[in-house]
Amino acid sequence: MIKIKSRKILDKDGREVAIQFEFEDYKKIQEYIEDIEDSLELAQAIKEADGFRLWEDFVAEFNSTHK
């Protein structure tokens, strides 16, 4: 989990209407969200994948066809 410092912005009635934080923290949040999206895409790809091969088998086949 990322740590950010934020401030709540209140309206005249004391209701929370916004959050304010440093731009560096915004970039951290963006990166964190992108990492989560990447993880979800990887999980989906693994779920839908069919026909994984061992790395050694791939290398052997590649080497035999690309001499």
Q: Could you read off the pLDDT of 32-41 as tens digits, one per residue?
A: 999 999 999 9
| Phi, psi dihedral angles at 4 (to 5 degrees) | -135, 155
- Closest C-alpha to 34, from 44, 42, 24, 22: 42
- Mean pLDDT for 41-58 is 90
Reading the block at residue 41, the tokens are 């895409």
10: three-class secondary structure by DSSP? strand
| pLDDT score at 57 | 93
Whole-model pTM? 0.62
- Mean pLDDT for 21-49 is 95
Domain positions in the chain are: 6-65
Task: Report the distance separating Cα 37 and Cα 57, nearest Å.
Answer: 30
Which spans in 7-54 are helix H? 23-48
